Amino acid sequence: MPLDREAVAGALSGCDGVISALGTGLSLFHEVTALSDATRTMIEAMRQQSVHRLVCITGMGAGDSRGHGGFIYDRLILPFVLGKIYRDKDRQEAEIRASNLDWTIVRPSYLTNGPATGNIRVTTNLAGIRGGSITRADVTNFVIGEFLQKKWLYKSPLITNL
């Protein structure tokens, strides 16, 4: 469905905005384009339906947050395991930035299970950031709050638990 223009446009009818938490399977051998392709389709449908608010979850390691995941993540996991996915996340973020929508790109650190803690560090200043983790529940709470409050409009904050 994420690539079906008519289905996406129909799903957006009457919506105030979109929260995108698209994911993709691991691909070591084939280039990944699902995230950027689906995002492009979603942006076109949002324009068609006059929906302006978009909060999109990508991840630490996308865009200018690359190099802040810690030694093992930055030197082994990202380039050799997640590289194709994160190249597509970069394209996805570029689509969003060029969209003229009211966007926020949220980059959570390593995702964990567990209850919300409410102890979240939110920053676009990545100096000194090396790794970290955050519960999925805290990501959910942050994304919903950001969707409504627009504190980080046109920004790409990294979020992690304290």
Residue 159: burial class (beta carbons within 10 Å; 0-12, 13-18, 19+): buried
pLDDT for the residue numbered 3:
84
Confirm if 53 and 101 have CB atoms less than 8 A apart: yes
The domain made up of 5-161 has a fold known as Rossmann fold (3.40.50)
Q: What's the predicted TM-score (pTM) here?
A: 0.95
Alpha helices in the chain (DSSP H): 5-12, 34-48, 71-72, 83-97, 136-149
pLDDT for the residue numbered 1:
58
Sign of CA dihedral 82, 85, 90, 93: negative
Distances (CA, A) of 18 to 13, 30, 114, 120, 161: 11, 29, 25, 23, 24
The tens-digit pLDDT sequence of the chain (162 residues) is 578 889 999 999 999 999 999 999 888 788 999 999 999 999 999 999 999 999 999 999 999 999 999 999 999 999 999 999 999 999 999 999 999 999 999 999 999 999 999 999 999 999 989 899 999 999 999 999 999 999 999 999 999 998
pLDDT for the residue numbered 7:
93
Residue 127 dihedral angles phi and psi, to the nearest 5°: -60, 125
Residue 45, Cβ neighbours under 10 Å: how many? 22
